[in-house]
Chains A and B, each alone.
Chain A
């Protein structure tokens, strides 16, 4: 499987990465090399093997730990907002995105 220039443009748009037209060729080659690696993995016979959802998700492996339902976090808005680019009235300010 290999990608086209259009695929690269679409993936870049979904990931919000700005790739200048001059660089798409290079990115295309890099991505195709990654896909080549995936193809090698695919060649392995995995019949009867249940897909893992996590590297530690082996038989007898670890399961997710849970937290008791208690509100433990204090309000630290001031500290968090001290490093934000712009805030007002307790809100983080961002360029408007309207539906």
Chain B
């Protein structure tokens, strides 16, 4: 039996504001427990929430970047549930009238492109955190069956972005999540730090026979890495298919992904929680966004990934693939433009080095472009010496490694100190070639007798004699000329 997997994602992105969504407490990660929890965040009686203007602006920015509709009137609602890290007993969210509705996101797949439709994006506050593994003074409390509550995260502004169930595999869901992640970082509304929980996905997974109506879905909560997202969806889809093929039925429920065991399991505590009894929050008036405000935000939008990708292809003569890779993040695209400017080299040479040596080194050291130790000026200086013939490709890679390790500040410095300058002087190369020919009479004879391979061996000997510094094209040409006589 063939099965089709259907996936929709709900993504919580923490907005990169200085203060919380409804209070003036700082919005920063890593403070001492409860040091950033104000009276509003800990829900003392009598306090009132006041919306952060920048949080709203970021939501509008996202809506504009994805072609969604900005609702000029939207409403905050109370989502009621009980949990120790939610001291009010409700989360302020948006229900019937979110800030943004509609829009879409283009994603790149192995076999082409796909457009994923968005349902909505709404503003809400994050909850606090429960700490079950207590140490220090609180270890005694843990022994008595107590948990700790840290409300620093309570009130952190979130934009919850809901997709249509448009993905048809775990790989497509990951491609969507990656594209969304790149976009929210690109437009500057989220730092994208998944380890710190700045970007978290819930996956709605169901299976069906192709063409049949949607099957019953399960929601897998809080997936904070692309790898977990992929594994959780794959596991869940297989579980549902096996369940149905064995004559069972999928029950709609919330499940947790256990990364250690690589499986999803039911969250029993959420069984009752589907009834959140939403109602408009009487503490907050309806939110009105004027046209002028929307236009002001539109003017702050940077050039978006798709437009930049097209421009890279057009202005730099790059292939669609190269342009796509280089514009996969804003940091990468910015780096590339700085590299082209500082190297004055062919954009294709710049692209090859950024996507080859540089990407390889970043990958090896588990860094991304924001943690790149190699400035575009340093790499640009190196590419300039390739372009003007000072360095061969092989020597350039050695210089790159020296620069990467931070042992020198410029390519020119490395070339000077290590005497790496490529030998392009005709007289010097002829001398090297003649010496090698004189010392390898047997191979010369082989070549003249028709053994083509002997030629490569002679090239190798000359390169070795020059300690890799001879210009390979000139060596080839000189050898051919000498042997033709």
B285 touches A56 (CB 8 A): yes
Cβ of B329 within 8 Å of any chain A Cβ, yes or no, is no
Interface check A71, CB cutoff 8 A: yes
Q: Are A14 and B42 in contact (CB under 8 A)?
A: no
CA distance A57 to B140 in the complex (A): 51
Contact of A99 among B19, B26, B269 (CB under 8 A): B269
Write out, one digit per residue, whether chain B residues 14-26 have a CB within 8 A of any chain A CB (1) or not (0). 0001110001111
B147 engages A95 (CB within 8 Å): yes
Interface string of A43-62 (1 = CB under 8 A from B): 00000000001111100001
Task: Tell whether, in the assembled complex, residue A91 and residue B131 are in contact, meaning their CB atoms are under 8 Å apart.
Answer: yes
The yes or no answer to A77 lying at the interface (CB within 8 A) is yes
- The CA of A16 and the CA of B25, in the complex, are separated in Å by 30
Contact partners of B52 in chain A: CB under 8 A: 66-67, 69
Is the beta-carbon distance between A63 and B286 smaller than 8 angstroms?
yes
Contact size class for B?
A: 35 or more
Proximity bits, B241-254, A CB within 8 Å = 1, else 0: 00000000000000
With a cutoff of 8 Å between Cβ atoms, the chain B residues found around residue A76 in the complex are: 38-39
Question: Does A40 reach chain B (CB closer than 8 Å)?
Answer: no
Partner of A97, one of B51, B55, B80, B83: B83
Would you call B286 and A69 a contact (CB within 8 A)? no
With CB as the reference atom, state the residue of chain A lying closest to B54.
A69
Which chain B residues lie closer than 8 Å to A94 at the CB level? 84, 146-147, 149
Which partner residue on chain A sits nearest B136 by CB separation? A89
B37 CB to nearest A CB, Å = 7
Does B349 sit at the interface, judged by CB under 8 A? no
Query: In the complex the two chains form, is B51's CB within 8 Å of A67's CB?
Result: yes
- The reply to whether A54 and B138 contact each other, CB–CB distance below 8 Å, is no
Q: Which residues of B contact A56 (CB under 8 A)?
A: 285
Chain A residues bordering chain B, tally (CB within 8 A)? 38
Tell me whether B141 and A93 are in contact (CB under 8 A): yes
> Shortest Cβ distance from B32 into chain A, in angstroms?
6
Nearest B residue to A72 via CB reads B24
**Within the complex, what minimum Cβ distance (angstroms) separates B287 from chain A?**
5
A65 contact set on B, CB distance < 8 A: 50-51, 285
Partner of A69, one of B18, B35, B267: B18
State which of B36, B141, B267 has its C-beta within 8 Å of the C-beta of A88.
Answer: B141
In the bound assembly, the distance between CA atoms of A75 and B33 in angstroms comes to 11
B24, B275, B286: which contacts A67 (Cβ < 8 A)?
B24
Q: A63-B287, A86-B146, A99-B256 known; A91 and B50 CB under 8 Å? A: no
**Residue in A13, A68, A81 whose beta carbon sits within 8 Å of that of B34 in the complex:** A81
Please report the C-alpha to C-alpha distance between residue A53 and residue B280 in the assembled complex, in whole angstroms. Answer: 6
Choose among B51, B54, B137 the residue that contacts A64 (Cβ–Cβ < 8 A). Answer: B51
Contacts of B130 in A (CB 8 A): 97
Q: Does B448 contact A (CB under 8 A)?
A: no
A73 at the interface (CB under 8 A from B): yes
Contact of B150 among A66, A91, A95, A99 (CB under 8 A): A91
- Is the Cβ of A57 less than 8 Å from the Cβ of B131? no
Chain B residues in 8 Å Cβ range of A91 = 33-34, 131, 134, 138, 148-150
Q: How many angstroms from the CA of A77 to the CA of B149 in the assembled complex? A: 13
B279, chain A: closest CB distance, angstroms: 9
- CB 8 Å contact bits of B347-365 with A (1 = contact, 0 = none): 0000000000000000000
Task: Tell me if B56 is interfacial: C-beta within 8 Å of chain A.
Answer: yes
Pair B24/A80 contact, Cβ less than 8 Å: no
**Pairs across A and B, CB under 8 Å, 14 listed:** A54-B284, A64-B287, A67-B52, A69-B17, A69-B52, A69-B53, A71-B24, A73-B24, A80-B44, A88-B148, A91-B150, A92-B149, A94-B146, A94-B147
- Chain A residues within 8 Å of B, Cβ to Cβ: 13-14, 16, 53-57, 62-73, 75-77, 80-81, 86, 88-99
* Chain B residues with a Cβ under 8 A of chain A: 17-19, 23-27, 32-39, 42, 44, 50-56, 75, 80, 82-84, 97, 130-132, 134-138, 140-141, 145-151, 256, 267, 269, 272, 275, 277, 280, 282, 284-288
